[in-house]
Amino acid sequence: MSATTLEVHLSPEQLVDDMRTEVRAGLTTDPKWLSPKWFYDDLGSALFEEITALPEYYPTRTERALLTAHAADIARRAGAEVLVELGSGSSEKTRLLLDAGLEAGTLHTYVPQDVSIGALEAAADAVARQYPALEVRGVVSDFTGSLEHLPRGGRRMIAFLGGTLGNLVPDERADFLARIAAVLESGEHLLLGVGLVVDESVVVPAYDDAAGVTARFNRNVLDVLNHRLGADFDSSRFRHVALWDPHNEWIEMRLEATDDMLVHIGDLDIDVPFHAGEQIRTEISAKFTAAGLAAELDRAGFDVEQTYTDEGRLFALMLAVRR
């Protein structure tokens, strides 16, 4: 018999409260910025799923191929009884880890965690239906906050797939890895799926596809602010921009105002001026080298046990163990 529960550590009210604070900070400074976590309302989560199937978006299919090839080895090494997945989204690729953990005879619980309650509920229900032998415990929370609410007990592996680690700037990343280390016991595992540094001609189209799905995903964040904070953005007056920053080795997604405008944000009682050509940074997506990330993991208290990469060295799965 499967069981599904949903623990809410971030209520819709808290989420909007956090959004108010961050949006005020990000849109009243120069240059302007927004956190990528606001992309993921129901439409944003659905658009992200569309992105993962685009021909230009190599990360998802490459990570899926790596999981297909190596999930059994990962399951054997980690011996996890409990799989916790941060930013789990649709949990689609995770099924490869679930199959391998069940096959190994160790796994009994799956804990998907996400800030997007709609996507999480749908994914947790679907996994529970497909895997009656698993206990499925969904957790609604923000992984940039405390992780102390994550379940303890049972041998755990925390998975963080899809290159989402790259959405954090280096300081946030160091803090995030340290908070994961703080909740894991010695011998427990962390599995990271990250994009590797590749040529600009490969990485930029992945964030600026010909069909314009990433542009819709990017602009949707303005509609999220319209719905949740009573803003009056006209998202059609913002252009999607994806830029490779070779110094930081990250992609930046931005929204560029097509003309001068004044945007009112009702809930914050502020007017935000934009001049033509002004940009809002909406996401960074850092790319890694295996050696660089191994050093970051080492500083946080992890040893890299195994690194799995594809032939084209586009993507890596890194399995690390808490010292």
Ligand X SMILES: C[S@@+](CC[C@H](N)C(=O)[O-])C[C@H]1O[C@@H](n2cnc3c(N)ncnc32)[C@H](O)[C@@H]1O
Site residues, ligand X (CB under 6 A): 37, 40, 45, 48, 52, 87-89, 93, 114-116, 119, 142-144, 161-162, 164
In the bound state, the residue with its beta carbon closest to ligand X is 162
Sequence-separated (6 or more) residues with CB below 8 Å from residue 89: 40, 45, 48, 49, 114, 116, 119, 123, 162
**Closer residue to ligand X (CB): 45 or 109:** 45
- Minimum Å gap between C-beta 64 and ligand X is 9
Q: Which residue bears the tokens 């090839």?
A: 69
Per DSSP, the residues of 30-96 read SSEE--GGGG-SHHHHHHHHHHHTSTT-HHHHHHHHHHHHHHHHHHHHH--SEEEEET-TT-TTHHH
- Minimum Å gap between C-beta 176 and ligand X is 10
**Closer residue to ligand X (CB): 87 or 263:** 87
- Minimum Å gap between C-beta 145 and ligand X is 8
- Minimum Å gap between C-beta 283 and ligand X is 9
- The one-letter code for the residue type at 285 is S
- Minimum Å gap between C-beta 45 and ligand X is 6
| 269, containing H or E segment | none
- Minimum Å gap between C-beta 269 and ligand X is 26
Secondary structure of the chain: what % helix, strand, coil (to 5)? 40, 30, 30
**Closer residue to ligand X (CB): 47 or 78:** 47
**Closer residue to ligand X (CB): 94 or 274:** 94
Structure token pair of residue 227:
């719905």
Cis peptide before 31 (omega within 30 of 0): yes
**Closer residue to ligand X (CB): 60 or 106:** 60
By DSSP bridging, strand 315-322 and strand 302-309 are antiparallel
CA distance 47 to 287: 22
**Closer residue to ligand X (CB): 38 or 274:** 38
